[in-house]
């Protein structure tokens, strides 16, 4: 099993030392930092192939090659009430952009429970895990195109 990308593991370690209300506070602070995809990458209406399946917060994901064998990730969250989706988007953007793609491709989707706790409803989990799966898929496709198998 591949290790998690270091910045993600560091973030999770910080989060896991907080009590529930501190964790929620921290996640809201992260969500406040969220900025949607820059217009040079995509503009509304966003293409359907970038939409996260099953995400009711209408999240979209893009990747951009950023140097040798690395990707920068971008997100849009169209539902203004999609606070958890915005928090996750910002966590993934900050911790997985430019991380080793083999590690990004191996991030388990259920990492969302380590971030948000086990109390997530099925509907909410479906959307958030879908965001992680889209990132994994982007990393995998990039690796395959480059000729290495994740």
Partner 1 sequence: MTKSISERGYTRADVLVSTDWVEEHLKDPKIRIAESNEDPLLYSSNHIPGAVEIDWTRDLNDPVRRDYLGRSAFDKLMRRMGATRETTIVLYGDKNNWWATYAFWVLQLFGHTNAKIMDGGRLKWIKENRPVSREVPKYQASNYQAPERDDIRFRAFRDQTLKHLEQKLPMIDVRSPEEYRGERLHMPDYPNEGALRGGHIPGAVSIPWGRAVNQEDGTFKDAAELRKIYMEENKLRPEDDVIAYCRIGERSSHTWFVLRYLLGFHKVRNYDGSWTEWGNLVNVPVENPSAEARDEAAA
Interface positions with partner 1 (CB under 8 A) = 21, 24-25, 27-28, 31, 54, 56, 80-84, 87, 109-110, 116-126, 129
CB of 83 to partner 1, least distance (A): 4
- Nearer CB in complex with partner 1: 31/37: 31
Q: Are 104 and 137 contacting, i.e. CB atoms less than 8 angstroms apart?
A: no
- Nearer CB in complex with partner 1: 71/107: 107
**Among candidates 143, 38, 135, which has minimal Cα distance to 96?**
135
Biggest distance spanned by C-alpha atoms of the chain: 45
- Nearer CB in complex with partner 1: 71/112: 112
CB of 39 to partner 1, least distance (A): 25
CB of 65 to partner 1, least distance (A): 30
Q: What's the rounded Cα separation, in Å, for the pair 132 and 92? A: 8
CB of 86 to partner 1, least distance (A): 9
Q: What's the rounded Cα separation, in Å, for the pair 108 and 132? A: 8
What CA–CA distances, in Å, run from 58 to 13, 48, 50?
Answer: 28, 10, 10
- Nearer CB in complex with partner 1: 64/78: 78
């Amino acid at each position: 099993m591949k290790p998690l990308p270091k910045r993600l593991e560091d973030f999770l370690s910080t989060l896991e030392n907080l009590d529930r209300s501190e964790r929620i506070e921290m996640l809201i602070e992260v969500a406040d930092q969220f900025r949607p995809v820059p217009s040079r990458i995509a503009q509304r209406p966003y293409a359907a192939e970038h939409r996260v399946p099953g995400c009711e917060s209408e999240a979209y994901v893009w990747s951009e090659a950023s140097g040798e064998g690395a990707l920068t990730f971008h997100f849009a969250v169209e539902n203004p009430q999609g606070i958890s989706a915005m928090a996750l988007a910002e966590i993934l953007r900050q911790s997985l952009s430019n991380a080793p793609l083999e590690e990004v491709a191996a991030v388990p989707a259920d990492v969302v429970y380590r971030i948000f706790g086990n109390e997530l409803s099925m509907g909410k989990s479906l959307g958030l895990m879908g965001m992680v799966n889209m990132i994994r898929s982007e990393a995998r496709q990039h690796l395959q195109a480059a000729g290495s198998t994740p």
